[in-house]
Structure 1
Amino acid sequence: MLNLNFGRFVRATLAAALLAAGQAAATDFVIFDQPVSKADRRREYANALLSAVLERTVPEFGPYQIRHAPVHMERPRLFQALKDGTLINLTAYPVSPGWMRELKSVPIPIDMGLQSWRIFLIDEKSQPALRATRTLGQLARLRAGSGSSWSALQSLKDAHLSVVTGSNYAGLFQMLMAGRFDYLPRGVNEIFAEYDTHKPDHPTLAVEETVLLHDSIPSLFFVSPREPRLHRRIKAGMEAMLKDGSLERLVLDYHRADLQRARLCTRKRFELPNRQLDPALLGRQELWLNPFDPRHGICPAPQPR
Protein backbone atom coordinates (compact mmCIF):
# COMPACT_ATOMS: atom_id res chain seq x y z
CA MET A 1 0.00 0.00 0.00
CA LEU A 2 2.88 2.32 0.87
CA ASN A 3 4.55 1.70 -2.51
CA LEU A 4 1.24 2.27 -4.32
CA ASN A 5 0.63 5.56 -2.54
CA PHE A 6 4.21 6.65 -3.15
CA GLY A 7 3.87 5.85 -6.85
CA ARG A 8 0.72 7.91 -7.05
CA PHE A 9 2.47 10.78 -5.27
CA VAL A 10 5.40 10.66 -7.70
CA ARG A 11 3.09 10.58 -10.75
CA ALA A 12 1.02 13.48 -9.38
CA THR A 13 4.14 15.48 -8.62
CA LEU A 14 5.56 14.86 -12.10
CA ALA A 15 2.22 15.77 -13.71
CA ALA A 16 2.05 19.02 -11.74
CA ALA A 17 5.63 19.86 -12.67
CA LEU A 18 4.99 19.15 -16.36
CA LEU A 19 1.82 21.26 -16.27
CA ALA A 20 3.66 24.15 -14.63
CA ALA A 21 6.48 23.85 -17.14
CA GLY A 22 3.98 23.83 -19.98
CA GLN A 23 2.29 26.94 -18.65
CA ALA A 24 5.62 28.68 -18.16
CA ALA A 25 6.63 27.85 -21.72
CA ALA A 26 3.27 28.82 -23.24
CA THR A 27 3.57 31.65 -25.73
CA ASP A 28 1.33 34.67 -25.15
CA PHE A 29 -0.05 35.92 -28.45
CA VAL A 30 -0.78 39.63 -28.36
CA ILE A 31 -2.95 41.19 -31.06
CA PHE A 32 -2.53 44.97 -30.90
CA ASP A 33 -4.46 47.59 -32.87
CA GLN A 34 -3.40 49.11 -36.17
CA PRO A 35 -2.72 52.84 -36.66
CA VAL A 36 -4.94 54.83 -39.01
CA SER A 37 -2.27 54.69 -41.74
CA LYS A 38 1.45 54.19 -42.23
CA ALA A 39 1.88 57.94 -41.77
CA ASP A 40 0.16 57.82 -38.34
CA ARG A 41 2.97 57.78 -35.76
CA ARG A 42 0.81 58.00 -32.64
CA ARG A 43 1.20 54.30 -31.82
CA GLU A 44 5.00 54.24 -31.90
CA TYR A 45 5.37 54.86 -28.18
CA ALA A 46 2.61 52.40 -27.20
CA ASN A 47 4.24 49.70 -29.32
CA ALA A 48 7.64 50.35 -27.74
CA LEU A 49 6.13 50.25 -24.25
CA LEU A 50 4.24 47.03 -24.99
CA SER A 51 7.45 45.34 -26.16
CA ALA A 52 9.27 46.53 -23.02
CA VAL A 53 6.49 45.28 -20.74
CA LEU A 54 6.35 41.85 -22.39
CA GLU A 55 10.12 41.50 -22.40
CA ARG A 56 10.24 42.46 -18.73
CA THR A 57 7.83 39.65 -17.85
CA VAL A 58 9.50 36.81 -19.80
CA PRO A 59 11.08 35.26 -16.65
CA GLU A 60 7.65 34.91 -15.02
CA PHE A 61 5.32 34.39 -17.98
CA GLY A 62 7.49 33.02 -20.78
CA PRO A 63 7.75 33.89 -24.48
CA TYR A 64 5.39 36.11 -26.45
CA GLN A 65 4.53 37.18 -29.96
CA ILE A 66 3.08 40.54 -30.99
CA ARG A 67 0.77 40.68 -33.97
CA HIS A 68 -1.42 43.50 -35.24
CA ALA A 69 -5.09 43.56 -36.10
CA PRO A 70 -5.73 43.15 -39.83
CA VAL A 71 -7.38 46.60 -40.14
CA HIS A 72 -7.63 49.88 -38.26
CA MET A 73 -10.81 50.20 -36.21
CA GLU A 74 -12.43 53.39 -34.94
CA ARG A 75 -13.18 53.40 -31.24
CA PRO A 76 -16.75 51.93 -31.24
CA ARG A 77 -15.77 48.99 -33.45
CA LEU A 78 -12.51 48.51 -31.53
CA PHE A 79 -14.47 48.26 -28.27
CA GLN A 80 -16.66 45.48 -29.64
CA ALA A 81 -13.68 43.63 -31.11
CA LEU A 82 -11.87 43.75 -27.77
CA LYS A 83 -14.86 42.28 -25.97
CA ASP A 84 -14.86 39.41 -28.45
CA GLY A 85 -11.06 39.01 -28.32
CA THR A 86 -10.64 37.36 -31.74
CA LEU A 87 -9.42 40.14 -34.06
CA ILE A 88 -7.67 42.03 -31.25
CA ASN A 89 -6.99 41.40 -27.58
CA LEU A 90 -5.07 44.47 -26.42
CA THR A 91 -5.01 48.22 -27.04
CA ALA A 92 -3.96 51.45 -25.33
CA TYR A 93 -6.63 54.16 -25.21
CA PRO A 94 -7.94 57.00 -23.05
CA VAL A 95 -10.38 55.78 -20.41
CA SER A 96 -14.15 55.90 -20.70
CA PRO A 97 -16.80 54.46 -18.34
CA GLY A 98 -17.93 51.73 -20.74
CA TRP A 99 -14.40 50.56 -21.38
CA MET A 100 -13.64 50.49 -17.65
CA ARG A 101 -16.77 48.40 -16.99
CA GLU A 102 -16.51 45.83 -19.77
CA LEU A 103 -12.80 45.45 -20.51
CA LYS A 104 -9.88 44.58 -18.24
CA SER A 105 -7.89 47.76 -17.67
CA VAL A 106 -4.34 48.04 -16.34
CA PRO A 107 -4.55 50.95 -13.86
CA ILE A 108 -1.27 52.68 -14.74
CA PRO A 109 -1.32 55.47 -17.36
CA ILE A 110 0.87 54.32 -20.23
CA ASP A 111 2.38 57.79 -20.72
CA MET A 112 2.06 58.85 -17.06
CA GLY A 113 -0.69 61.27 -18.04
CA LEU A 114 1.07 63.26 -20.76
CA GLN A 115 -1.83 62.96 -23.17
CA SER A 116 -4.06 64.80 -20.69
CA TRP A 117 -1.99 67.97 -21.26
CA ARG A 118 -3.59 69.36 -24.42
CA ILE A 119 -2.63 72.11 -26.82
CA PHE A 120 -4.33 73.00 -30.07
CA LEU A 121 -4.05 72.48 -33.77
CA ILE A 122 -5.52 75.52 -35.52
CA ASP A 123 -5.72 77.39 -38.78
CA GLU A 124 -3.13 80.10 -38.27
CA LYS A 125 -5.78 82.82 -38.72
CA SER A 126 -7.30 81.77 -35.35
CA GLN A 127 -4.16 82.58 -33.37
CA PRO A 128 -5.06 86.22 -32.50
CA ALA A 129 -8.41 85.23 -30.97
CA LEU A 130 -6.82 82.48 -28.91
CA ARG A 131 -3.95 84.70 -27.82
CA ALA A 132 -6.52 87.16 -26.46
CA THR A 133 -8.29 84.44 -24.43
CA ARG A 134 -7.86 84.83 -20.66
CA THR A 135 -10.65 82.64 -19.19
CA LEU A 136 -12.57 79.47 -19.96
CA GLY A 137 -15.60 81.65 -20.51
CA GLN A 138 -13.77 83.50 -23.28
CA LEU A 139 -12.55 80.21 -24.74
CA ALA A 140 -16.18 79.02 -24.86
CA ARG A 141 -16.90 81.71 -27.46
CA LEU A 142 -14.73 79.70 -29.87
CA ARG A 143 -15.51 76.19 -31.12
CA ALA A 144 -13.46 73.14 -30.18
CA GLY A 145 -13.29 70.04 -32.38
CA SER A 146 -13.48 66.49 -31.07
CA GLY A 147 -14.09 62.95 -32.19
CA SER A 148 -17.64 61.94 -31.37
CA SER A 149 -16.45 58.96 -29.28
CA TRP A 150 -13.35 60.55 -27.71
CA SER A 151 -12.98 60.48 -23.93
CA ALA A 152 -12.01 64.17 -23.89
CA LEU A 153 -15.39 65.18 -25.33
CA GLN A 154 -17.21 64.93 -22.01
CA SER A 155 -14.61 67.03 -20.18
CA LEU A 156 -14.91 69.74 -22.83
CA LYS A 157 -18.68 69.72 -22.44
CA ASP A 158 -18.50 69.69 -18.63
CA ALA A 159 -16.34 72.82 -18.86
CA HIS A 160 -19.17 74.42 -20.88
CA LEU A 161 -17.00 74.76 -23.97
CA SER A 162 -18.57 74.81 -27.42
CA VAL A 163 -17.74 71.56 -29.24
CA VAL A 164 -18.24 70.38 -32.82
CA THR A 165 -17.82 66.62 -33.31
CA GLY A 166 -16.80 64.40 -36.18
CA SER A 167 -16.96 60.63 -36.49
CA ASN A 168 -13.80 60.16 -38.57
CA TYR A 169 -10.28 60.91 -37.30
CA ALA A 170 -8.85 62.00 -40.66
CA GLY A 171 -11.93 64.07 -41.39
CA LEU A 172 -11.36 66.23 -38.31
CA PHE A 173 -8.34 67.85 -39.93
CA GLN A 174 -10.38 68.70 -43.00
CA MET A 175 -13.15 70.11 -40.79
CA LEU A 176 -10.64 72.28 -38.93
CA MET A 177 -9.19 73.75 -42.10
CA ALA A 178 -12.68 74.28 -43.56
CA GLY A 179 -13.56 76.45 -40.56
CA ARG A 180 -16.12 74.08 -39.02
CA PHE A 181 -14.43 74.69 -35.67
CA ASP A 182 -11.61 76.93 -34.39
CA TYR A 183 -9.24 74.61 -32.55
CA LEU A 184 -8.57 70.88 -32.15
CA PRO A 185 -7.19 69.95 -28.68
CA ARG A 186 -4.50 67.27 -28.89
CA GLY A 187 -2.20 65.69 -26.33
CA VAL A 188 1.35 67.06 -26.21
CA ASN A 189 2.54 63.52 -26.91
CA GLU A 190 0.77 63.38 -30.29
CA ILE A 191 0.23 66.88 -31.65
CA PHE A 192 3.59 67.42 -33.33
CA ALA A 193 3.52 64.10 -35.16
CA GLU A 194 0.06 65.03 -36.42
CA TYR A 195 1.19 68.53 -37.35
CA ASP A 196 4.20 67.23 -39.28
CA THR A 197 2.00 64.68 -41.08
CA HIS A 198 -0.81 67.06 -42.10
CA LYS A 199 1.09 70.31 -42.67
CA PRO A 200 2.09 69.50 -46.28
CA ASP A 201 -1.59 69.13 -47.24
CA HIS A 202 -2.74 72.14 -45.18
CA PRO A 203 -0.19 74.99 -45.45
CA THR A 204 -1.95 77.22 -42.89
CA LEU A 205 -2.16 74.48 -40.24
CA ALA A 206 -0.42 75.67 -37.05
CA VAL A 207 0.16 74.70 -33.43
CA GLU A 208 -1.48 77.30 -31.19
CA GLU A 209 1.07 79.12 -29.03
CA THR A 210 -0.59 80.29 -25.80
CA VAL A 211 -3.25 77.96 -24.31
CA LEU A 212 -2.93 74.69 -22.35
CA LEU A 213 -5.83 72.48 -21.21
CA HIS A 214 -5.47 69.75 -18.59
CA ASP A 215 -8.18 67.12 -18.12
CA SER A 216 -6.41 64.29 -16.20
CA ILE A 217 -7.81 61.65 -18.56
CA PRO A 218 -5.29 58.78 -18.55
CA SER A 219 -4.58 56.38 -21.38
CA LEU A 220 -4.43 52.77 -20.18
CA PHE A 221 -3.78 49.34 -21.59
CA PHE A 222 -7.13 47.59 -22.11
CA VAL A 223 -7.20 43.80 -22.42
CA SER A 224 -9.98 41.60 -23.72
CA PRO A 225 -11.97 40.01 -20.86
CA ARG A 226 -11.20 36.67 -22.54
CA GLU A 227 -7.48 37.10 -21.75
CA PRO A 228 -7.04 37.10 -17.93
CA ARG A 229 -3.47 35.75 -18.13
CA LEU A 230 -2.42 38.49 -20.57
CA HIS A 231 -4.01 41.07 -18.26
CA ARG A 232 -2.00 39.75 -15.31
CA ARG A 233 1.17 39.87 -17.41
CA ILE A 234 0.70 43.45 -18.62
CA LYS A 235 -0.19 44.63 -15.11
CA ALA A 236 2.88 42.92 -13.60
CA GLY A 237 5.18 44.45 -16.20
CA MET A 238 3.75 47.94 -15.83
CA GLU A 239 4.03 47.81 -12.04
CA ALA A 240 7.65 46.66 -12.31
CA MET A 241 8.55 49.44 -14.77
CA LEU A 242 6.80 52.04 -12.62
CA LYS A 243 8.61 50.85 -9.50
CA ASP A 244 12.15 50.97 -10.93
CA GLY A 245 11.66 54.23 -12.88
CA SER A 246 12.03 52.69 -16.34
CA LEU A 247 8.48 53.74 -17.28
CA GLU A 248 9.24 57.40 -16.60
CA ARG A 249 12.54 57.13 -18.49
CA LEU A 250 10.78 55.63 -21.52
CA VAL A 251 8.10 58.35 -21.46
CA LEU A 252 10.74 61.08 -21.42
CA ASP A 253 12.95 59.37 -23.99
CA TYR A 254 10.05 59.40 -26.44
CA HIS A 255 8.40 62.70 -25.51
CA ARG A 256 10.97 65.11 -24.09
CA ALA A 257 11.39 66.82 -27.46
CA ASP A 258 7.58 67.18 -27.74
CA LEU A 259 7.39 68.72 -24.26
CA GLN A 260 10.14 71.18 -25.06
CA ARG A 261 8.59 72.05 -28.42
CA ALA A 262 5.22 72.65 -26.70
CA ARG A 263 6.68 75.40 -24.44
CA LEU A 264 4.21 74.54 -21.68
CA CYS A 265 5.80 76.85 -19.14
CA THR A 266 4.70 80.02 -20.95
CA ARG A 267 1.08 79.02 -21.62
CA LYS A 268 -2.22 79.98 -19.96
CA ARG A 269 -3.31 76.83 -18.15
CA PHE A 270 -6.95 75.79 -17.70
CA GLU A 271 -8.03 72.77 -15.62
CA LEU A 272 -11.00 70.88 -17.03
CA PRO A 273 -13.38 68.76 -14.91
CA ASN A 274 -13.01 65.01 -15.16
CA ARG A 275 -15.96 63.12 -13.72
CA GLN A 276 -14.93 59.86 -15.42
CA LEU A 277 -11.70 59.31 -13.51
CA ASP A 278 -11.39 56.63 -10.85
CA PRO A 279 -10.27 58.53 -7.71
CA ALA A 280 -7.84 55.69 -6.95
CA LEU A 281 -5.89 56.54 -10.12
CA LEU A 282 -5.68 60.22 -9.27
CA GLY A 283 -4.66 59.41 -5.71
CA ARG A 284 -1.49 57.56 -6.76
CA GLN A 285 0.81 60.49 -7.39
CA GLU A 286 3.59 58.22 -8.66
CA LEU A 287 1.46 57.39 -11.70
CA TRP A 288 1.51 60.96 -13.04
CA LEU A 289 4.43 62.81 -14.59
CA ASN A 290 4.31 66.52 -13.84
CA PRO A 291 5.95 68.29 -16.82
CA PHE A 292 6.37 71.41 -14.68
CA ASP A 293 8.63 69.62 -12.17
CA PRO A 294 12.08 71.25 -12.56
CA ARG A 295 13.84 67.88 -12.25
CA HIS A 296 12.61 66.97 -15.75
CA GLY A 297 14.31 69.99 -17.27
CA ILE A 298 11.21 71.02 -19.24
CA CYS A 299 10.44 74.16 -17.24
CA PRO A 300 13.14 76.15 -15.45
CA ALA A 301 13.28 76.01 -11.68
CA PRO A 302 11.74 79.08 -10.01
CA GLN A 303 14.33 81.63 -9.03
CA PRO A 304 14.59 82.57 -5.34
CA ARG A 305 13.36 86.05 -4.54
Structure 2
Amino acid sequence: MTLNPQSPLRRQGPATLRGRAVPKTTTDQRLLDSRGPVDWVHADPWRVLRIQAEFVEGFGLLAELPKAVSVFGSARTKPDSADYKLGVEIGAKLHEAGYAVITGGGPGIMEAANKGCDESGGLSVGLGIELPFEQGINDHVDIGLQFRYFFVRKTMFVKYSQAFVVLPGGFGTLDEVFEAITLVQTGKITRFPIVLVGTEFWGGLMDWIRDRMLTTGKIAAHDLDLVHLTDDPDEAVRIIVEGHSRAEQEIAEARARKETARQVQDAEQAE
Protein backbone atom coordinates (compact mmCIF):
# COMPACT_ATOMS: atom_id res chain seq x y z
CA MET A 1 0.00 0.00 0.00
CA THR A 2 1.29 3.45 -0.95
CA LEU A 3 0.67 6.03 1.74
CA ASN A 4 -0.75 9.40 0.83
CA PRO A 5 1.96 12.01 1.25
CA GLN A 6 -0.69 14.14 2.95
CA SER A 7 -1.29 11.49 5.62
CA PRO A 8 -0.56 12.49 9.24
CA LEU A 9 3.10 12.02 10.11
CA ARG A 10 4.66 11.63 13.54
CA ARG A 11 8.32 11.41 14.54
CA GLN A 12 8.49 9.25 17.67
CA GLY A 13 12.01 8.93 19.02
CA PRO A 14 14.13 7.48 16.21
CA ALA A 15 11.04 6.26 14.29
CA THR A 16 8.88 8.00 11.69
CA LEU A 17 5.19 7.01 11.68
CA ARG A 18 2.56 7.88 9.08
CA GLY A 19 -1.08 7.19 8.41
CA ARG A 20 -2.74 4.46 10.46
CA ALA A 21 0.55 3.80 12.29
CA VAL A 22 0.35 7.16 14.06
CA PRO A 23 -1.01 6.58 17.62
CA LYS A 24 -3.92 8.69 18.76
CA THR A 25 -2.02 9.92 21.84
CA THR A 26 1.56 10.99 22.56
CA THR A 27 3.99 9.09 24.74
CA ASP A 28 3.75 11.81 27.40
CA GLN A 29 -0.05 11.64 27.36
CA ARG A 30 0.01 7.90 27.89
CA LEU A 31 2.49 8.37 30.73
CA LEU A 32 0.65 11.18 32.50
CA ASP A 33 -3.06 10.67 31.80
CA SER A 34 -3.58 7.25 33.35
CA ARG A 35 -2.12 5.42 36.33
CA GLY A 36 -2.70 1.97 34.88
CA PRO A 37 -1.66 -1.27 36.60
CA VAL A 38 1.23 -1.03 39.06
CA ASP A 39 2.47 -4.63 39.16
CA TRP A 40 5.34 -3.71 36.84
CA VAL A 41 6.90 -1.63 39.65
CA HIS A 42 7.62 -4.85 41.54
CA ALA A 43 8.82 -6.89 38.56
CA ASP A 44 12.46 -8.00 38.27
CA PRO A 45 13.30 -5.92 35.15
CA TRP A 46 12.24 -2.77 36.99
CA ARG A 47 14.24 -3.84 40.05
CA VAL A 48 17.32 -3.98 37.83
CA LEU A 49 16.80 -0.31 36.98
CA ARG A 50 16.35 0.56 40.65
CA ILE A 51 19.56 -1.27 41.50
CA GLN A 52 21.35 0.54 38.69
CA ALA A 53 19.99 3.86 39.93
CA GLU A 54 21.29 3.18 43.45
CA PHE A 55 24.77 2.40 42.14
CA VAL A 56 24.79 5.50 39.92
CA GLU A 57 23.59 7.78 42.72
CA GLY A 58 26.07 6.32 45.21
CA PHE A 59 29.02 6.49 42.83
CA GLY A 60 28.11 10.02 41.78
CA LEU A 61 27.73 11.36 45.31
CA LEU A 62 30.78 9.66 46.81
CA ALA A 63 33.22 9.85 43.89
CA GLU A 64 35.00 12.93 45.24
CA LEU A 65 35.09 11.74 48.83
CA PRO A 66 38.56 12.08 50.39
CA LYS A 67 40.23 9.05 51.97
CA ALA A 68 37.82 7.55 54.46
CA VAL A 69 37.38 4.84 57.10
CA SER A 70 34.14 2.99 57.82
CA VAL A 71 33.18 2.49 61.46
CA PHE A 72 30.77 -0.32 62.36
CA GLY A 73 29.04 -1.35 65.55
CA SER A 74 25.69 -1.91 67.18
CA ALA A 75 22.76 0.42 66.52
CA ARG A 76 21.53 -0.54 70.01
CA THR A 77 24.47 1.04 71.83
CA LYS A 78 23.22 3.67 74.30
CA PRO A 79 24.64 7.22 74.34
CA ASP A 80 25.67 6.90 78.01
CA SER A 81 27.67 3.69 77.43
CA ALA A 82 31.43 3.26 77.31
CA ASP A 83 31.23 1.88 73.77
CA TYR A 84 29.38 4.99 72.56
CA LYS A 85 32.01 7.27 74.09
CA LEU A 86 34.69 5.12 72.47
CA GLY A 87 32.97 5.53 69.10
CA VAL A 88 32.93 9.32 69.51
CA GLU A 89 36.63 9.31 70.35
CA ILE A 90 37.51 7.13 67.37
CA GLY A 91 35.48 9.31 65.01
CA ALA A 92 37.37 12.40 66.20
CA LYS A 93 40.78 10.73 66.00
CA LEU A 94 40.12 9.47 62.47
CA HIS A 95 39.39 13.04 61.39
CA GLU A 96 42.55 14.26 63.10
CA ALA A 97 44.47 11.65 61.11
CA GLY A 98 43.02 12.99 57.87
CA TYR A 99 40.13 10.62 57.20
CA ALA A 100 36.46 11.13 56.56
CA VAL A 101 34.23 8.81 58.58
CA ILE A 102 31.62 6.54 56.97
CA THR A 103 28.98 4.68 58.98
CA GLY A 104 25.62 3.07 58.39
CA GLY A 105 24.10 6.42 59.30
CA GLY A 106 21.89 5.12 62.12
CA PRO A 107 21.93 5.38 65.92
CA GLY A 108 24.29 3.74 68.42
CA ILE A 109 27.92 3.29 67.39
CA MET A 110 27.15 4.74 63.96
CA GLU A 111 25.89 7.97 65.49
CA ALA A 112 28.82 8.04 67.91
CA ALA A 113 31.47 7.84 65.17
CA ASN A 114 29.63 10.39 63.02
CA LYS A 115 29.33 12.67 66.06
CA GLY A 116 33.02 12.47 66.92
CA CYS A 117 34.02 13.27 63.36
CA ASP A 118 31.40 16.00 62.95
CA GLU A 119 32.13 17.82 66.19
CA SER A 120 35.87 17.83 65.47
CA GLY A 121 35.27 19.45 62.07
CA GLY A 122 35.53 16.40 59.84
CA LEU A 123 33.46 15.09 56.95
CA SER A 124 30.84 12.63 58.21
CA VAL A 125 29.04 10.20 55.88
CA GLY A 126 26.04 7.96 56.56
CA LEU A 127 24.94 5.11 54.27
CA GLY A 128 21.52 4.08 55.56
CA ILE A 129 19.37 1.10 54.64
CA GLU A 130 15.61 0.72 54.24
CA LEU A 131 14.36 -1.48 57.08
CA PRO A 132 10.92 -2.57 58.34
CA PHE A 133 11.64 -0.54 61.48
CA GLU A 134 12.58 2.98 60.43
CA GLN A 135 15.91 4.27 61.78
CA GLY A 136 16.65 7.30 59.66
CA ILE A 137 19.96 9.14 59.21
CA ASN A 138 21.43 10.58 62.41
CA ASP A 139 21.92 14.31 62.88
CA HIS A 140 25.72 14.22 62.63
CA VAL A 141 25.88 13.20 58.96
CA ASP A 142 27.06 15.67 56.31
CA ILE A 143 26.46 13.35 53.34
CA GLY A 144 23.65 10.84 53.69
CA LEU A 145 22.33 8.16 51.36
CA GLN A 146 19.46 5.77 52.01
CA PHE A 147 19.66 2.43 50.14
CA ARG A 148 17.03 -0.17 49.33
CA TYR A 149 19.49 -3.01 48.76
CA PHE A 150 22.08 -4.27 51.25
CA PHE A 151 24.51 -5.43 48.54
CA VAL A 152 24.60 -1.98 46.90
CA ARG A 153 25.23 -0.33 50.26
CA LYS A 154 27.99 -2.82 51.11
CA THR A 155 29.68 -2.09 47.79
CA MET A 156 29.79 1.61 48.73
CA PHE A 157 31.37 0.83 52.12
CA VAL A 158 34.17 -1.14 50.50
CA LYS A 159 34.69 1.07 47.44
CA TYR A 160 34.96 4.35 49.32
CA SER A 161 36.69 3.19 52.53
CA GLN A 162 40.38 2.55 53.02
CA ALA A 163 39.88 0.62 56.27
CA PHE A 164 37.25 -0.73 58.67
CA VAL A 165 37.10 -0.05 62.41
CA VAL A 166 34.67 -2.38 64.16
CA LEU A 167 33.28 -1.86 67.64
CA PRO A 168 31.01 -4.32 69.48
CA GLY A 169 27.90 -5.15 67.46
CA GLY A 170 25.42 -7.79 66.39
CA PHE A 171 24.70 -9.84 63.27
CA GLY A 172 24.95 -6.88 60.89
CA THR A 173 28.35 -5.95 62.29
CA LEU A 174 29.57 -9.55 61.95
CA ASP A 175 28.32 -9.58 58.37
CA GLU A 176 30.38 -6.51 57.49
CA VAL A 177 33.47 -7.84 59.29
CA PHE A 178 33.51 -11.24 57.61
CA GLU A 179 32.71 -9.83 54.18
CA ALA A 180 35.70 -7.48 54.47
CA ILE A 181 37.96 -10.31 55.70
CA THR A 182 36.83 -12.51 52.81
CA LEU A 183 37.49 -9.78 50.23
CA VAL A 184 41.00 -9.20 51.58
CA GLN A 185 41.78 -12.91 51.96
CA THR A 186 40.75 -13.64 48.36
CA GLY A 187 42.60 -10.61 46.98
CA LYS A 188 39.49 -8.80 45.80
CA ILE A 189 40.65 -5.77 47.75
CA THR A 190 44.18 -5.07 48.97
CA ARG A 191 45.88 -2.84 51.54
CA PHE A 192 42.75 -2.76 53.68
CA PRO A 193 43.30 -2.72 57.48
CA ILE A 194 40.52 -4.26 59.59
CA VAL A 195 40.64 -3.28 63.27
CA LEU A 196 38.41 -4.82 65.94
CA VAL A 197 38.11 -2.53 68.97
CA GLY A 198 37.24 -4.29 72.24
CA THR A 199 39.36 -7.25 73.30
CA GLU A 200 36.81 -8.48 75.86
CA PHE A 201 34.02 -8.50 73.27
CA TRP A 202 35.97 -9.80 70.25
CA GLY A 203 38.57 -11.95 72.03
CA GLY A 204 36.35 -15.05 72.24
CA LEU A 205 35.60 -14.87 68.52
CA MET A 206 39.28 -14.59 67.64
CA ASP A 207 40.08 -17.50 69.98
CA TRP A 208 37.43 -19.62 68.23
CA ILE A 209 38.84 -18.72 64.82
CA ARG A 210 42.32 -19.68 65.99
CA ASP A 211 41.30 -22.84 67.85
CA ARG A 212 38.72 -24.17 65.41
CA MET A 213 39.27 -22.75 61.95
CA LEU A 214 43.06 -22.62 61.99
CA THR A 215 43.72 -25.94 63.72
CA THR A 216 41.38 -27.79 61.36
CA GLY A 217 43.01 -26.26 58.28
CA LYS A 218 40.06 -24.08 57.27
CA ILE A 219 42.28 -21.00 57.13
CA ALA A 220 46.02 -20.38 56.92
CA ALA A 221 48.10 -19.01 59.77
CA HIS A 222 48.77 -15.76 57.91
CA ASP A 223 45.02 -15.17 57.57
CA LEU A 224 44.99 -14.25 61.25
CA ASP A 225 47.13 -11.24 60.37
CA LEU A 226 44.26 -9.78 58.35
CA VAL A 227 42.54 -8.65 61.56
CA HIS A 228 43.95 -6.47 64.33
CA LEU A 229 42.54 -6.50 67.87
CA THR A 230 42.93 -3.61 70.34
CA ASP A 231 41.28 -1.59 73.09
CA ASP A 232 43.18 1.62 72.35
CA PRO A 233 41.66 4.18 69.92
CA ASP A 234 45.10 5.65 69.27
CA GLU A 235 46.46 2.22 68.34
CA ALA A 236 43.48 1.58 66.07
CA VAL A 237 44.15 4.78 64.13
CA ARG A 238 47.91 4.14 64.13
CA ILE A 239 47.39 0.68 62.59
CA ILE A 240 45.39 2.27 59.78
CA VAL A 241 47.82 5.14 59.16
CA GLU A 242 50.89 2.87 59.20
CA GLY A 243 49.15 0.35 56.95
CA HIS A 244 48.39 3.00 54.38
CA SER A 245 51.91 4.45 54.61
CA ARG A 246 53.37 1.02 53.84
CA ALA A 247 50.92 0.59 51.00
CA GLU A 248 51.84 3.95 49.47
CA GLN A 249 55.51 3.07 49.75
CA GLU A 250 54.91 -0.28 48.04
CA ILE A 251 52.99 1.44 45.25
CA ALA A 252 55.78 3.99 44.77
CA GLU A 253 58.42 1.24 44.68
CA ALA A 254 56.38 -0.77 42.18
CA ARG A 255 56.04 2.28 39.93
CA ALA A 256 59.76 2.95 40.20
CA ARG A 257 60.56 -0.65 39.20
CA LYS A 258 58.17 -0.41 36.29
CA GLU A 259 59.72 2.85 35.13
CA THR A 260 63.25 1.41 35.43
CA ALA A 261 62.23 -1.63 33.39
CA ARG A 262 60.73 0.64 30.73
CA GLN A 263 63.89 2.72 30.53
CA VAL A 264 66.02 -0.43 30.19
CA GLN A 265 63.75 -1.71 27.43
CA ASP A 266 63.91 1.63 25.59
CA ALA A 267 67.70 1.65 25.85
CA GLU A 268 67.95 -1.90 24.48
CA GLN A 269 65.68 -1.03 21.55
CA ALA A 270 67.77 2.06 20.76
CA GLU A 271 70.97 0.02 20.44
TM more than 0.5: no
Could you state the TM-score of these two structures normalised by the residue count of structure 2?
0.29
Structure holding more helix per residue: 2
Between Structure 1 and Structure 2, whose CA radius of gyration is higher?
Answer: 2
